[in-house]
Structure 1
Amino acid sequence: MSTDDAASTDDAATLSEIDAFVRGRLDTTGTPGAALAVIEGGRVVHRRGFGEDGRGRAVTPETPFLWGSVSKPITGLAVMQLVEAGRVDLDAPVRTYLPRFRLADPDASARITVRHLLLNTSGIPASADGEIGDRYDNAPGALADAVRDLARIAPTARPGTSYAYSSAGYAVLGALVEEVSGRPFGSYLHERVFDPLGMEHAVATERDFERERVAPGHRSVFGVPVRFDAPYDTSGVPFGHMGGSLRDLTRFVLAELDGGRLDGRRVLSTKGTAETQRGHVKSSVGRYGLGWSVGTLKGTGERMVWKGGALPGHHTMVVMLPDSGRAVIVLQNAYHQLRAQELGDAAFGAAQLLSGVTARTTPTDPLAVVLPWGLAGLAAALLLCVAAPTLRRLPGRRAAARARSRRRIVLTTTVSVAVALTLAALLWWLPSTLGGTPAMTLLWAPDVGWGLVAAVALALLLAAERTVLAALDLRRQRTAPDALRADPGASGTGPDVFPTAPGASRAAGEGQ
């Protein structure tokens, strides 16, 4: 298979249309920079950079990006290499090769096979990703340490019975490759995958990351892309922290389209490559292979093998149409969790145009706009509630003093505290409905995360404040002179009013 860029194609107008479409998607999502590659007939026919990277330089096909979960099919290929070498059996328990692998359920740990991990049917919940993901750990043995921490995770299903997307499972696969090969995972990838395929600037180690000077990506903050300069994460390489230039990823895709071979060098057999690209189990987005998602391209019915990947600040999409030797790759230097489908449209739409059908796009999820601003508004409202007792002391803002019975104090305080605590609990639980944690929300969707944390903190502060004020009210009622207790108009509401002397008049009380 040739890897040279073609000077022209039979339909240059289509490539111009694809360029315009991708540029339009970048404008819609506010993405500062991207790189596009188009493969047709088994050869690269187009490469293009758009916009700027996180350091203000023009994006080119040589600009390095991080690939997110597009790392998973590369990890799948590495595992299949060991399978074809006779060193790993797909249906053997993982602990055959990685004895230290443990979950909270010992029986399930012993029954999880290598195939289960590849297919995301191990029973490891998606929530486990929060336990080991985004650690930014580059210490020696970082990957092994991450896998060891899975011992706290309880499986949610019996191995092999249901699909649940799991980056944690792919971390275990990376540790397995390390154990079987006797090499750090990044070193193994360079020796057995990247170097044979000529992926000269691929990133799989902290040293690679620093050598290639990977530019910061961007996170969306209230619709504005904000640069995010994150460190590398060696512990996350098998499931998300591989990277490199558009040219590097293009070479990997060319090998996938040609049955595991590129420029006469083979990294996997044709049969093994086909096995990774076959949809083995039903997933949330079609079917899932050994690292790849499998489905059909909308509007064409053509078999599509694809993978999307994201990290805070980066988004990657590979769409392959193996039956026609076509593919589209789009790397973007921005990400927002609630706009993932819109970001993916750049590649899916380009593939549809390449196949001669109209590109489809996803409308912006209203939640992407409403949730950040709604949480910010809620936090502002809670702040006003917390500040209200102080505001009432300002000239012209204090209400006339009125007495309240002990029963009324207890009742109103109980209700307000219960509402505040319930609100805090619901807000803290909110990220779990999206498959994450508050910490992950702060990292992946900072505008949502900041609003969430602020609202929870203010709700808890409000509950504490109301409790303290009620206690003060009740104490003052107990210590107030008999004359004041007999004259309801002489006591204040809350801590605003204090009697000046025994027998103080209503006018004196109101004038304070």
Structure 2
Amino acid sequence: MTRLFLVLAALLLGTATPAAAAPAPDVDGYVRAYLDHTGLPGAAVAVTHGGDVVRVAGYGHDAAGAPITASTRLPIASLSKSMTAFAVLQLAEAGRIGLDDPVTRHLPEFRLADPRGARITVRMLLDQTSGMADSAFPDLKLPQPHTLAGAVERLRDAGLADEPGAKFHYHNPNYEVAARIVEVVAGQPFAEYLRTRLFGPLGMTSSSTVEEPPADLSPGYVRAFGFAVPVTEPDWFTGGSHGVLSTADDLARWLVAQRDGSGALSPSSVALAHTPAPGRDYAFGWGTYRPGQLSHNGEWFSHTAAQILLPDGYGIVVLATTGLALDNDADTLAQGLAALVQGGSPELALPAGVVADRVLAGLMLLSLLLAVLGVVHARRWAARRGGWGPVTLRLLPCLLPGLVLVFLPDLMSVVFAGRQGTFGQILHVWPGVVAWLGFATLCALVVVIARVRAVVSGTTRPRREESGETTGVVAWGSANRRSGS
């Protein structure tokens, strides 16, 4: 009887339907849909889960028409900061650097215009609380260095925005100084150190770091009125803070290393790199800006990047072929993938910059319409002139678009949280706003010319009429005198 029961149980278990496994996230489908919907020309993606690689792939193409693949080398921009932090922590583990050492202990030449700079520590560089900031030292607007040593040297003119350790300020020179410390303490160039001590041990054989964008870098794009316009990267200093070039294949290994260091760093140091100080949301090249995520994005003028670590073990990296703008294509795509791997159904939306450019296109049409009306009604406007003083005051609003255009770099620093750049850099970041302001300025100039001509014409015409009337009166008087005589 017992034997019969066991046989029946075996038959029942054998015919039972196994529980359905959770479907694998459709990374390919979502990325391709994102590219189609937004017009993003190309991207490279790495998705990992624990120690496993879920997907590495490239999609679309670069500005030269070459297909993006998992082995295409692209700039990872400020994702580089997390790698510089790893290098510093390696030296800290070896006892060669103390995170609370003053920077001057390792770099005696580190001197700021503000004497408080002597209190800046290595830790303050990594968590960006040194007090250095774009508001006190507008890095992008100044002549660029060509070496890490030069990057430290030029800080002699830098002030401080806050007391060291008091407040977070995202500032690339923090990581330039940190990379120079690695260079000096290790006794080898920073690029060589990363190659032998970080990239090599992690198997990131296609990765390297540069101090300036290389001439043979695959070109990227900027967006303008819905079009992706090919551009080359401007010449600027990237060492230590945003100079790593890598591939989706290599970055999958980097994501896996965030679990336990993969032999390049101890698990405790990895945890330190991921953990902001109490009350802050920035650790060492990683931030906790969004609940339940560790993340960081990166921006060059022609490319963007993003990396995310999720608490369930997923890691995501996206490299995109569009540059710094109102939003970050790589970050938007990475957030969509984060929702996807967590079982969500992320909606596709146009980038904010594309939507903003549509608004700007409408404003350009409005500027044209107002200019036409201003020219057509110039004489009517001039008839209310009331003298040149009031005319001048009434023309002043026409100068507004030109004034905004002239001061655009300063105004844009408000939009980009204090980051200050040059006019040429703004052309890369948001060409649409430059085009609109330039067009509006031209339209306003045409209206000003038409109104001034109308005022001048109206000023001279009454004199001619008065002269004609006077002549007529004199002639009439003379005729009367002749008839009376």
Shared fold (TM-score greater than 0.5)? yes
Given candidates 109, 122, 143, the residue that maps to 1:114 is: 122
Q: Does 1:14 align with 2:14?
A: no
Given candidates 273, 277, 296, the residue that maps to 1:276 is: 273
SS at match of 1:251: helix
**Structure 2 match to 1:354:** 341
Aligned length: 446
Task: Give yes or no for contact 1:372–1:447 (8 Å, CA) kept in 2.
Answer: no
Given candidates 114, 125, 133, the residue that maps to 1:105 is: 114
> Structure 1 403/227 Cα, relative in aligned 2: closer, same or farther at 3 Å?
closer
1:493 deviates by 3.0
Given candidates 429, 435, 443, the residue that maps to 2:428 is: 443
**Structure 2 match to 1:289:** 283
SS at match of 2:70: coil
State the one-letter code of the partner of 2:269: G
TM-superposition CA deviations, 1:30-81 (whole Å, max 9, x none): 1111122221231113222211122212221111111011011011111112
> Structure 1 255/83 Cα, relative in aligned 2: closer, same or farther at 3 Å?
same
State the one-letter code of the partner of 2:47: V
Report which of the two structures shows the higher radius of gyration computed on alpha carbons: 2
SS at match of 2:55: strand
TM-superposition CA deviations, 1:261-284 (whole Å, max 9, x none): 2xxxx222221111101122545x
Counterparts of 2:369 and 2:252 in 1: how far apart (Å)? Answer: 51
> Structure 1 404/218 Cα, relative in aligned 2: closer, same or farther at 3 Å?
closer
TM-superposition CA deviations, 1:119-165 (whole Å, max 9, x none): 1112222446852489776x4x3x33334334444322212122222
> Structure 1 501/366 Cα, relative in aligned 2: closer, same or farther at 3 Å?
same
Q: How does 1:191-206 map to 2 (within 5 A)?
A: 191-205=196-210
TM-superposition CA deviations, 1:464-503 (whole Å, max 9, x none): 9799x69x98xxxxxxxxxxxxxxxxx7336x86978993
TM-superposition CA deviations, 1:152-209 (whole Å, max 9, x none): 4432221212222222322222222233333332222222212222222113137994
Using structure 1 for the length normalisation, give the TM-score.
0.74
Task: Give yes or no for contact 1:216–1:228 (8 Å, CA) kept in 2.
Answer: yes
1:371 deviates by 5.4
**Structure 2 match to 1:408:** 387
**Structure 1 match to 2:5:** none
State the one-letter code of the partner of 2:284: L
**Structure 1 match to 2:481:** none
1:110 deviates by 1.4
- Identity among equivalent pairs (%): 30
Counterparts of 2:440 and 2:113 in 1: how far apart (Å)? Answer: 34
Counterparts of 2:334 and 2:140 in 1: how far apart (Å)? Answer: 29
**Structure 1 match to 2:257:** 255
Q: How does 1:481-496 map to 2 (within 5 A)?
A: 492-493=457-458
State the one-letter code of the partner of 1:80: L
> Structure 1 401/250 Cα, relative in aligned 2: closer, same or farther at 3 Å?
closer
Counterparts of 1:219 and 1:166 in 2: how far apart (Å)? Answer: 23
Given candidates 215, 226, 229, the residue that maps to 1:226 is: 229
Given candidates 310, 317, 326, the residue that maps to 2:299 is: 310
Q: Does 1:123 align with 2:131?
A: yes
Task: Give yes or no for contact 2:300–2:323 (8 Å, CA) kept in 1.
Answer: yes
SS at match of 2:47: strand
Using structure 2 for the length normalisation, give the TM-score.
0.78
Counterparts of 1:466 and 1:101 in 2: how far apart (Å)? Answer: 58
Task: Give yes or no for contact 1:416–1:463 (8 Å, CA) kept in 2.
Answer: no
> Structure 1 327/416 Cα, relative in aligned 2: closer, same or farther at 3 Å?
same
Task: Give yes or no for contact 1:260–1:268 (8 Å, CA) kept in 2.
Answer: yes
Q: How does 1:80-479 map to 2 (within 5 A)?
A: 80-107=89-116, 109-127=117-135, 130-132=138-140, 139=146, 141=147, 143-205=148-210, 209=214, 213-230=216-233, 233=236, 235-257=237-259, 259-261=260-262, 266-280=263-277, 282=279, 287-294=281-288, 303-321=292-310, 324-340=312-328, 343-355=330-342, 357-361=343-347, 363-364=349-350, 368-370=354-356, 373-374=359-360, 377=363, 381=367, 399=379, 408-417=387-396, 420=399, 424-425=403-404, 428=408, 429-435=410-416, 436-437=419-420, 438-439=422-423, 440-452=425-437
TM-superposition CA deviations, 1:201-249 (whole Å, max 9, x none): 1131379946xx431111111121111122664x213221211211122
**Structure 1 match to 2:483:** none
Task: Give yes or no for contact 2:222–2:228 (8 Å, CA) kept in 1.
Answer: yes
149-158 or 117-126: bigger deviation: 149-158
CA RMSD of aligned residues (A): 4.0
Counterparts of 1:375 and 1:126 in 2: how far apart (Å)? Answer: 31
Task: Give yes or no for contact 1:71–1:240 (8 Å, CA) kept in 2.
Answer: yes
Unaligned runs of 5+ in 1: 1-9, 298-302, 474-490, 508-512
TM-superposition CA deviations, 1:277-299 (whole Å, max 9, x none): 1122545xxx21111113666xx
Task: Give yes or no for contact 2:100–2:123 (8 Å, CA) kept in 1.
Answer: yes
SS at match of 2:203: coil
Unaligned runs of 5+ in 2: 1-19, 472-485
Task: Give yes or no for contact 1:417–1:466 (8 Å, CA) kept in 2.
Answer: no
